[in-house]
Amino acid sequence: MALVLDTRFLIAHTFPPSREDRDRVARFAARILGRERVAMPSIVAVEYIRVAGRRIGRTAAVARLNMWLNSGAELAPLSRETAVKAGELSLKHPNVPIADAVIAAIALSMHARVVSDDTHYEELGVKRLWYR
């Protein structure tokens, strides 16, 4: 099965809320990398650098992003078909952030679950998985 990473997961991985969460997210990441097809939408890369970069700096945020990509996660660009699907999802669900619609469209095209605790994905018809 394929998994699509959401920005919330990358932020939890970088800034775990507790020691227990740090251990859980590390075990989860080790379990999925190498065993599952893992994709990171390009919009997630953008959001991650923006959010994490404010806390740890641009260089460190890019390095952590590259760690995921070098560990087997693939960068999923926004294709024409996925852009249209994201637009349709966004039109149907106007209160859902556009980035979530893009991530959901990529997950739908891959028949994948999204690694996130964000309930918007269920509204968009995508199953979720979280590290807890």
pTM given for the model = 0.94
User: What pLDDT, on a 0 to 100 scale, did the predictor assign at position 132?
Assistant: 86
CA pair distance 59, 99, nearest whole angstrom: 23
pLDDT value, residue 1: 81
Cα distances from 30 to residues 22, 25, 51, in angstroms, run 12, 9, 23
Question: How far, rounded to the nearest angstrom, does the alpha carbon of residue 127 sit from its chain's CA centroid?
Answer: 13
Say which amino acid occupies 39. A
State how far the Cα of 125 lies from the Cα of 132, in Å rounded to an integer. 21
Which mean pLDDT values do the consecutive 10-residue runs of the chain (132 residues) have? 96 96 95 92 98 98 96 95 98 97 98 97 96 90
Place of tokens 């979530």: 100
Domain layout of the chain by residue ranges: 2-129
Please say whether the beta carbons of 126 and 16 come within 8 A: no
DSSP per-residue codes, the chain: -EEEE-HHHHHHHHS-SSHHHHHHHHHHHHHHBTTBEEEEEHHHHHHHHHHHHHHH-HHHHHHHHHHHHHTTPEEE---HHHHHHHHHHHHH-TTS-HHHHHHHHHHHHHT-EEE---THHHHTT--EE---
pLDDT of 34: 81
CATH topology of domain 2-129: Rossmann fold (3.40.50)
